[in-house]
Structure 1
Amino acid sequence: MAKTLSVGLVQQPAWPDKAKSLAESEAGVRELAAQGAELVLLQELHSTHYFCQYEDTALFDLAEPLDGPSGQFLARLAQELDIVLVGSLFERRAAGLYHNTAVVYDRDRGRVGHYRKMHIPDDPGFYEKFYFTPGDADAARHEGFTPIDTSVGRLGVLVCWDQWYPEAARLMALAGAELLLYPTAIGWSPSDDTAEKYRQKDAWTLIQRSHAVANGVPVVVANRTGHERDQSEVGEGIDFWGGSFISGPQGELLAHAGEGPERLLVQLDLARSEEVRRIWPYLRDRRVDAYADLTRRYRD
């Protein structure tokens, strides 16, 4: 018998005003819950603007502990709506130690797990290494590439730049993740030409769909939308391209958002992962005895 799961995501703009941004998130979550969503994914850093466009120590004041005001707000929302909610926090773990953290809230159980972003980019307009420390790789303490068990299944939660790394998706799948979730903040530079913009977006969609194919699990991706200016006025800002989507275990697109604010809702048949893996048994045929060099930076 099929095991179905109603999965939703919110694609939204965000602002420096946390109250305004969280209100936008809340509206999307409530709409999806009213339509029957059991699991809802919010985008990366949905409670603020994308502040990593420039470096400013004052912006560390945006960070909160896991159970700070934003975390408590999301926990209450998940409890009230009786859903599993995956949110995103700029986490203050200690003085001088900050993370980009996805947090999972499970109905009335509150926070049941978190994932601290492991791959941290440092590119023009995406100066994340200034703000974020990579997560710890410690499976014994449920850190690193470790799925989170919830009432709707075992979730492999990763964050944005992690989406380009097949190793991250594979390790989550090898630990029993039943689906992969990627809260994301990615967009174009306004000066990029049209062809380059769509090459970037197509690559972004393709790599994540490939994780579904290679691991035989659904993939859920929530990206932000709208132009966000560089508050320092040095850069030209970022046009976040939206394009959030939900794919099945063969990479098939089940729902795909445009470039504006949008909510997606899909009924996932989780039993299909078993069926697909029986036909394409990639995990069976892996040559684990021949992969030692994957732990090297490069094979000179």
Structure 2
Amino acid sequence: MATSSTLLGQEVEATKHLDRDFVKVAAVQVRGYDKGDLPREGYDVTKKLIPYIDRAGKDGAQLVVFPEYILGRIDVPGETTQKLSAAARANNIYVIVGCWELKEDGEFANAALIFDRQGEIAGKYYKTHAAVDQYDPALPAWTKPPSGKDRDWLIKHDPEWIMEKGQELPVFDFDFGKVGIMTCYDGWFPEPARVMSLHGAELIVWINGRGGAVEDFIVKSTMFRNHVAMISTNQSYGGGTMIGDCAKWPTHILARCPDEEESYITATINLKNIRETRAASRNFKQRRPDLYGDLAKPDLPKE
């Protein structure tokens, strides 16, 4: 798995004429496998996704982003990823897409896969904050899965109670810039985006799979506080797929899909401006880490 020190998909010929100041990206709002869906015989979700990868390639986009969960429960690598690898390679484009990655030990993780320009799975991000429901009022809220439910029930109804949670917040080096990834509920916490930004992320990708719309106020505030551009995606039963950057004060949504519709958008992000803003940021320079230690404590004392 790539880390912040690894360039994803670096090839001299592929990057020689790349404009690192302005990067065109694409985001897709489309429906595929949902949170608790099991594999369906004869259903090949890549048939819906590959035409969008081709479209983004023809549009000159350097990256195309799909929603959370959408590939379903798959082996990585496997037959599904091989089809997406071929599409990424044919279009010389990065692809970020969500799935349930099945592990050899029977466990699974909510994964965002990164395909590089050569079609290799060059990185993964595992969701770090489980978005679970509260079923049993007799138990402390949000702390334990419902009692009396077996593994099969949890996989179908609320698999994040038993998924393998991510243990790090990596920043990935793409050939055009540094990229961080959040998955759905991760974005409701301010810390992940802040950590990734402080580790150099210039673009944060936020993939979702939920009803309702991804909150534009979270996108805008994340961009404003962290001096980053953002791409958010959602499945088309929801909404809030958008592309934004902080090139215009204080932030600017460049493009947004209509809610509850399958849709595709592109926009050009001004990374040069973002880098200049980050280099000159008084916010970054005047941080007081000596005051922030409580953020790392699991429980603060009640006064």
Looking at structure 2, the residues matched to 275 and 134 of structure 1 have their Cα atoms a distance apart, in angstroms, of 35
What's the counterpart of residue 29 of structure 2?
Answer: 11
Q: Which of 160, 165, 175 in structure 2 is aligned with 1:134? A: 165
Cα RMSD between the aligned structures?
2.2
Deviation, 1:251, is 2.8
Looking at structure 2, the residues matched to 121 and 2 of structure 1 have their Cα atoms a distance apart, in angstroms, of 35
Deviation, 1:96, is 3.0
Deviations 1:62-98 (A, max 9, x none): x333212222222221111100111222111232321
Q: What's the secondary structure of 1:172's corresponding residue?
A: helix
User: Does residue 297 of structure 2 align to residue 296 of structure 1?
Assistant: yes
Q: What's the secondary structure of 1:271's corresponding residue?
A: helix
What's the counterpart of residue 10 of structure 2?
Answer: none
Q: What's the secondary structure of 2:112's corresponding residue?
A: strand
Deviations 1:230-252 (A, max 9, x none): xxxxxxxxxxx212011112431
Q: Which of 220, 245, 248 in structure 2 is aligned with 1:248? A: 245
Percent identity over the alignment is 25
Looking at structure 2, the residues matched to 251 and 94 of structure 1 have their Cα atoms a distance apart, in angstroms, of 43
User: Does residue 154 of structure 2 align to residue 158 of structure 1?
Assistant: no
User: Does residue 208 of structure 2 align to residue 208 of structure 1?
Assistant: no
Q: How does 1:1-80 map to 2 (within 5 A)?
A: 3-15=21-33, 17=40, 19-48=43-72, 63-80=73-90
Contact 2:171 2:199 in 1 (8 A): yes
Letter paired with 2:120:
G
Name the one with the larger helix percent.
1
Deviations 1:22-48 (A, max 9, x none): 211112221121111111111111224
Deviation, 1:298, is 3.6
Structure 2 residue runs of 5 or longer lacking an equivalent are 1-18, 34-38, 135-155
Contact 1:97 1:133 in 2 (8 A): yes
Deviation, 1:131, is 4.8
Looking at structure 2, the residues matched to 128 and 164 of structure 1 have their Cα atoms a distance apart, in angstroms, of 19
What's the counterpart of residue 146 of structure 1?
Answer: 170
User: Does residue 140 of structure 2 align to residue 100 of structure 1?
Assistant: no
1:271–1:65 distance in 2 versus 1, CA, 3 Å:
same
Contact 1:112 1:148 in 2 (8 A): no
Structure 1 residue runs of 5 or longer lacking an equivalent are 49-62, 137-143, 189-200, 227-240
Q: What's the secondary structure of 2:164's corresponding residue?
A: coil
Looking at structure 1, the residues matched to 161 and 281 of structure 2 have their Cα atoms a distance apart, in angstroms, of 42
What's the counterpart of residue 222 of structure 1?
Answer: 233
What's the counterpart of residue 286 of structure 2?
Answer: 285
How many matched pairs?
A: 252
Q: What's the secondary structure of 2:103's corresponding residue?
A: strand
Q: What's the secondary structure of 1:225's corresponding residue?
A: coil
Deviation, 1:128, is 3.6
Deviations 1:173-223 (A, max 9, x none): 1111120001111214xxxxxxxxxxxx47x22112211111101010011
Looking at structure 1, the residues matched to 173 and 276 of structure 2 have their Cα atoms a distance apart, in angstroms, of 22
Deviation, 1:279, is 5.8
Q: What's the secondary structure of 1:94's corresponding residue?
A: coil
Q: What's the secondary structure of 1:88's corresponding residue?
A: strand
Contact 1:120 1:134 in 2 (8 A): yes
